[in-house]
Amino acid sequence: MDLTPKRASDSATEMVQVVLPNDANPLGFILGGTVMHLIDIAGAIACHRHTRSLLVTAAVDDLQFLHSIKVGDLIILESHVTCVFTTSLEVLVDVFSEETLTGRRQRTSRAFLTFVAIDREGRRIQVPPLLIETDEERRVCKEAQARRAARLQRKAALGG
């Protein structure tokens, strides 16, 4: 594993796709499960860009759907790594809808996911450090440490 530190911008990812009828419920809105799938993919891509390793999803923090996204709109997912621990890392995924005809854009969800880096035998491996360059990045990473502690408590409560 190359442990050269990386910036958050090195992992920044934008995924854009049009919502098609096949993605939608009978009301013509994208399925929550489809959004969750895309969040997992957008988070994984950012983490792959940071680690250049195999990964598994360890946790997805609570998820809200603030607005519906309708067939014909664009769904946009923006992700980047927020904080790196030893073998795990946290990624933020913001989800937006964009009306194709007006350009009106709204945030519809925000999710924090944790991925764990593994080798081909499934053993956990160390991940490269995150270069923190701004006060905002420092704040986000500090908050990530608190989120991580809460997550591990929830995991322990589940018997994990």
Ligand X SMILES: CC(C)(COP(=O)(O)OP(=O)(O)OC[C@H]1O[C@@H](n2cnc3c(N)ncnc32)[C@H](O)[C@@H]1OP(=O)(O)O)[C@@H](O)C(=O)NCCC(=O)NCCS
Task: Provide, rounded to whole angstroms, the least separation between the CB of residue 145 and ligand X.
Answer: 11
Task: Provide, rounded to whole angstroms, the least separation between the CB of residue 146 and ligand X.
Answer: 13
Cβ distance to ligand X smaller for residue 27 or 157: 157
Task: Provide, rounded to whole angstroms, the least separation between the CB of residue 1 and ligand X.
Answer: 13
Q: Which residues bind ligand X (CB under 6 A)?
A: 56-59, 85-88, 114, 116, 124, 151-152, 155
Where helices occur in 1-158 by DSSP H, the ranges are 8-11, 32-51, 135-157
- Chain residue at closest Cβ approach to ligand X: 85
Closest to 97 measured CA to CA, from 78, 72, 76: 76
Contacts of 23 (CB under 8 A, 6+ apart): 30, 31, 34, 71
Cβ distance to ligand X smaller for residue 73 or 148: 148
